[in-house]
Amino acid sequence: MFVGVDLGGTKIAYALIDHKQGRVLARRVTPTDSADGPDAVLMRMVGDIRQVVADAGVALSDIRGIGCGVPGVYDDATGHTLFLPNLVGTWHQVPVGPTLTAALGIPVWLINDARAFVLAEAAYGAGRGHANVVGFTIGTGIGGGVVINQQLYMGIDGTAGEFGHQTLALDGPQCGCGNYGCLEAFASGSAMVAQANVLIESGQAPDLARRIAHGMQLTPSVMVSCSDIAVHQLLAQAYQYLGAGVANVVSLFSPNVVVLGGSVAQLGEPLCAAVRQVVIERCRATPVARIAIVTAALGGDAGVLGAAVWAAHRSGAEDVRALT
């Protein structure tokens, strides 16, 4: 059995998986409260892992490993986090793996949360049954991952799959990473919201402005529901950029399936249809008719399930069954 942990900016999710029977035995979700500091968060994680194991009625000694998805950069060799921008204090050189291992006596492996998402969708979700899967997580930022022959491709220090930081325009807007013209600067949720704010301030989005004035949060889903032509043109352009980013990745990897996940991907078929059309138009040397472009199937479970699968892979388990 393996425990998956998904450490997020606002909440931490846990799941205990019986990898031989393909069943989730227990789940748990608690607030992160990262303002309390890394030591306090890690101690709560220790208690929560113990609790989710107890909830399943199994012994801690039966757990073969723990996978922990983290929203940022980490050192795989040491198990330390290096930069988690969504947590207070950025978590530089925090010994997440060693601390959990020392407290629980169980090996711990870290994984980037976007890579965990793609691994889960490939194993259990929208990419299940296919050898080669790529995935995009499209939310505040854009991340992703690559599964080749049913194995997660990590690259150097686990950084393979940073699809949001491919350059689409040499003279484009500056991205949060410091580069200019990244996909993330054009098509992430935060980029769409920033562009919508410009339209509101210029008077080009009166319906959207009214909605925000009445207490609605400015999100891509609210933008979709408004009647402002300029807002819908903004969304259409963002879909085009996203399609171009997906087309680049399709040309590189020629996968069986492209999975789109995250809050922006929840806009659904209109976004998927726009992305498919761009891929068809721009991928002239790839058999795009044989490539499925779909939205994610696992919802909020993807990160925690992917982390558990990662622990199973890293432990050398060869008897991992698909979830039923």
CA–CA separation, 175 and 62 (whole Å):
45
Task: Let me know whether 18 and 163 are in one domain.
Answer: no
Return the CATH number at 44. 3.30.420.40
Instruction: Kindly state whether residues 100 and 166 are assigned to the same domain.
Output: no
Q: Say if residues 34 and 281 touch (Cβ distance below 8 Å).
A: no
- Within-domain flag for 121: no
Reported as a single tens digit per residue, the pLDDT across 97-156 is: 999 999 999 999 999 999 999 999 999 999 999 999 999 999 989 999 999 998 999 998
- Does one domain contain both 49 and 181? no
Residue at 261 is within a domain: yes
Nearest to 15 by CA among 319, 304, 318, 320: 304
Q: For position 321, what pLDDT does the model report?
A: 62
Q: Are residues 12 and 139 in the same domain?
A: no
Contact 15, 3 (CB under 8 A): yes
Whether 92 and 199 map to the same domain: the answer is no
**Same-domain status, 186 and 88:** no
Answer yes or no: is pLDDT of 43 > 70: yes
Answer whether residue 320 is part of any domain.
Answer: no
User: Percent helix, strand and coil across the chain, each rounded to 5?
Assistant: 45, 20, 35
87 belongs to a structural domain: yes
In a domain, 28, yes or no: yes
Does 135 lie in the same domain as 104?
Answer: no
pLDDT of residue 319: 62
> CA separation (Å) from 143 to 28, 104, 116, 118, 214?
25, 31, 11, 10, 32
Q: Are residues 48 and 186 in the same domain?
A: no
Confidence check: pLDDT of 324 > 70: no
pLDDT tens-digit map of 258-313: 999 998 988 888 999 999 999 999 999 999 999 999 999 998 889 999 999 999 99
- Output the pLDDT for position 137: 95
Do 177 and 266 fall into the same domain?
Answer: yes
| pLDDT band, very low/low/confident/very high, at 26 (cuts 50, 70, 90) | very high
Structure-derived torsion over alpha carbons of residues 4, 9, 147, 28, reported in degrees to the nearest 10: 20
What share of the chain has pLDDT > 90, as a percent? 84
User: For residue range 155-185, what is the model confidence (pLDDT) as tens digits?
Assistant: 988 899 999 999 999 999 999 889 999 999 9
Q: Is the dihedral of CA 87, 92, 98, 99 positive or negative?
A: negative
pLDDT in the model for residue 306: 93
**pLDDT score at 300:** 85
Helix axes of 229-253 and 269-282: crossing angle, nearest 10 degrees: 50
Domain that holds residue 33: 2-113+300-315
Residues 189 and 222 in one domain: yes
If asked whether residues 161 and 45 sit together in one domain, one would say: no
Confidence of residue 22 (pLDDT cuts 50, 70, 90): confident
53, 145: one domain: no
